[in-house]
Amino acid sequence: MSTANVAAIIQQARTRNRQLLTEVEAKAALSAAGIPVSETRLGRSRDEALTHAQALGFPVVLKICSPDIVHKSDIGGVALNLRTPEAVTQTFDTMMNSAKQSHPTATIDGISVQPMATAGLEVIVGVTSDPQFGPVVMFGLGGVSVEILKDVAFRLAPLIPRDAHAMIREIKGFALLSGYRGQPAIDLDAVEQLLLQVSALIEAQPDIKELDLNPIFVYSTGCLAVDARIILHQTTPIPGPRPLSATTRAALDRAFNPRAVAVIGDKRAMNYMWLRSQSTFQRKVYSVQIDERELPGIAALGVPNYPSLAAIPEDIDYVMTAVPRQVAPRIVADCAAKKVSGVMFFTSGFSEIGDEEGKRLEQMMVDTARAANMALIGPNCMGLYHPRIGLRNYAELPAGEAGTVGFIAQSGTHSITFSLAAPHHGVKISKAVSFGNATVLDASDYLDYLAADPETRIIGLYLEGVREGRRFFSLLREVTAKKPVVIWKGGMSEAGKRAISSHTGSLAVPAAVWTAMVRQAGAIPAETFDELLDTIKLLQFVKPTSKMGVGLIAMTGGPSVVITDAFEHAGLTVPLLSDASYQELSSFFTVIGGSFRNPLDSGHTIGMGQTSDNLERLLSILDRDPNIDAVVMDTGAGLVAGQWQAHPKTLEGLLDTLTNFASRSAKPFLVVLQPFALEAALLQVREQFHARGIATFATHQRAARALRLATDYWRFHAENSSW
């Protein structure tokens, strides 16, 4: 690409004070970047237009050329297929006149002339700029597909070849591109190439805010853009990626692993929630409180109290505080003076509520913390949780055990609820953070930290938005190649976005851009809390596969039918087994009331899970079957939970068989334990499965959805190595 030429063209438009480049200017820039466009020349007069037409060769196309007219056809500003010199001169005059009439104040450069191109299949490539993620490339089919059906695919720039390849195939109308009903197939490689060129162009020219190639004609070989538009940024574009600084990483590390912590301003009215949360902390805990009335309560908890942070005769690494907002900036200054590494504020009432005083106080805190290289966590958050060392952010959370799942949440409640629920699903937390207003440290900082944390193998996030979108995206793309990252995004609906601004003051991102970003980065998008937890549980317990064929075992007829629906609906397949499998099955399968195509309706054959040798045989057949990539068993818990309770041995036997299978088979194995109304009876059962390393799911749908999300992740990264 001739970068210098492109820059010169853009610079020229800037000096002419133009934000919208005309088709002639835009095509000059695109052509300098190596992108195939129809050669387009500006005719400032009728004679000049005619000369161009003669030089380019008939038939030609004439179009109005003005930085103030966006949609040329709408005002009769496009004339196709002009075959004679007379047609060109006449059209020149009528087009000029009608443009001047419809747009009396518009600057009109003249009329552009270009060869009439052979029609091809029409596609559209565009670029828009998201306020946080920067340039987003769009691909769609021409005409109604984009305008009415909104059948488009998005990817954040810069595109890598697999992005270009995938986005073309992602649109619903892809069949039309791949030789639909005897139509000749078109040159998809040329479209991929063009997408990559467009991405390279906007990376090299951050001045470009929007770009529109509409339409592009695609042929059996090659493609050609016949219309182009470029819009420049008014202001300087958003910042690019940056790594977590060594200082911040060290500060966070010390805050997550403190030798001594202090709780400032805890009180009876809050039931001493912060001090009580530290009852499990294995190292030193101090309290800072000057209110005499609170001192007996603090003494009763056995925590030494001091009138100020400075008065504590020891270094403090991490501070938790819930002081009123007016006092907050002073506390940050005290922490800085004490050389504290991290401070978290439960206190709210800052930028998230939008009043001037809140913003002013928050800015003071930020300035002080930055100057001191201190990790300011929040405000408006629950702060850090590191169960292994007993550092908690809620008094009911488990402590003392190390886990492997890291959790990062913008919301305190989601952070605590996840930390409370996860252990009941066999998922143990390595480190978690609720970070609220994200003033000094944002999601990217915590993600970068956990990505390098040796304790953390899987990362979950609850986010409402991110501040440095470009940084978040490029970091996420790196992290997912090493550790799975599951992201639950709140505020995906319009009304949900309103709630965000009142919650943490995040900038709202269009849902389509967000989802595209998550997919492109190879992360896992969860739509609900359950999906987030289910998928993390599955990733933790289950062996990976990148293929989609599921072998299903159910006990009885009805569940066999609906479990199949659930897995097909989630986009997985329930294939027939191999002939060899059917032959072996027919030798012992009890067909009365049961079928063994797939699903295997096998309650009779395996005595509702009690005939362990037959169950063993069934599982082995699925394990060997080449059509099957994952095995899922509905244990019929709604029918047998009572029996398990009355005769615990029956459950033990089943668990032995299943544990044995899960550990020897290389295929993912999932169990459905649907409680119906038997939650109480199944609570312990579920924990027994998890204790043995078997992932259970509450419904067919939840198992199916989690397996689909995980399979997408495994496949993405398996394929990624081939790009």
Interacting partner of 78 out of ligand ADP, Mg ion, none (Cβ under 5 to 8 A depending on kind): ligand ADP
Binding string to Mg ion for residues 124 to 163, with x set by CB under 5 A, is what?
----------------------------------------
Shortest distance, position 214 Cβ to ligand ADP, whole Å: 6
Q: Are 678 and 641 in contact (CB under 8 A)?
A: yes
Which stretch in 45-53, 224-232, 360-368, 583-591 sits in contact with Mg ion by CB under 5 A? 224-232
Q: Candidates 22, 38, 205, 701: give the one binding ligand ADP (CB under 6 A).
A: 38
* Using rule CB under 5 A, residue 214 touches Mg ion: yes
For residue 220, the partner it binds in ligand ADP, Mg ion, none, with Cβ less than 5 to 8 A by kind, is none
Residue among 440, 371, 447, 358 at smallest CA distance from 408: 447
Instruction: Tell me the per-residue interface mask from 43 to 62 with ligand ADP, x by CB under 6 A, - otherwise.
Output: ------------------x-
The one of Mg ion, ligand ADP, none whose footprint includes residue 308, by CB under 5 to 8 A per kind, is none
CA distance 26 to 65: 11
Angle between helix 328-337 and 356-371 (nearest 10) = 0
Identify the residue whose tokens are 């052509």. 31
**Under rule CB under 6 A, which residues in 63-92 are in contact with ligand ADP?**
63, 71-73, 78, 80
Select from 207-215, 313-321, 370-378, 458-466 the region that touches Mg ion (CB under 5 A).
207-215
Find which of ligand ADP, Mg ion, none residue 71 binds, CB within 5 to 8 Å per kind. ligand ADP
179: left (phi over 0), alpha (psi -120 to 50) or beta: left
Give the Cα separation of 666 and 327 in Å (integer).
58
Minimum CB distance to ligand ADP smaller for 226 or for 532: 226
Q: At residue 463, what are phi and psi to the nearest 5 degrees?
A: -130, 150
Q: Does 227 bind Mg ion (CB under 5 A)?
A: yes
117 binds, among ligand ADP, Mg ion, none (CB under 5 to 8 A by kind): ligand ADP
- Return d(Cα 134, Cα 210) in angstroms, integer: 10
Nearest alpha-carbon partner for 141 in 83, 78, 28, 217: 217
Q: Which is nearer to ligand ADP, 111 or 524 (CB)?
A: 111
CB of 431 to Mg ion, least distance (A): 52
Please, what is the minimum distance in Å from the beta carbon of residue 215 to Mg ion?
Answer: 6
CA distance 207 to 381: 37
Closest of 518, 528, 321, 493 to residue 414, by C-alpha: 528
CB atoms within 10 A of CB 590: 15
Per-residue binding string, ligand ADP, 101-120, x by CB under 6 A, is -------------x-xx---
Distance of alpha carbon 599 from alpha carbon 574, whole angstroms:
8
Q: Tell me how far apart the alpha carbons of residues 439 and 153 are, in angstroms, rounded to a whole number.
A: 33
Residue numbers 330-349 binding ligand ADP by CB under 6 A: none
Binding to ligand ADP by CB under 6 A, coded x per residue (else -) over 225-254, reads -xx---------------------------
Give dist(CA 451, CA 244) in Å, integer. Answer: 11
Q: Residues 644, 673: contact at Cβ < 8 Å?
A: no
Nearest residue to Mg ion, scored by beta-carbon proximity: 227
Rounded CA separation 525/583 (Å) = 41
Among ligand ADP, Mg ion, none, what binds residue 114 when CB lies within 5 to 8 Å by partner kind? Answer: ligand ADP
Q: Which stretch binds Mg ion (CB under 5 A): 219-227, 245-253, 434-442, 694-702?
A: 219-227
Q: Considering beta carbons, is residue 29 or 673 the nearer one to Mg ion?
A: 29
Is the sign of the CA dihedral 607, 610, 612, 618 positive or negative? positive
Tokens of 544: 């990976």
Site for ligand ADP in 189-218 (CB under 6 A): 214-215
Nearest to 161 by CA among 186, 183, 191: 191
Q: 3-state class of 218 per DSSP?
A: strand
Q: Which residues bind ligand ADP (CB under 6 A)?
A: 38, 61, 63, 71-73, 78, 80, 114, 116-117, 214-215, 226-227
Q: Which residues bind Mg ion (CB under 5 A)?
A: 214, 227
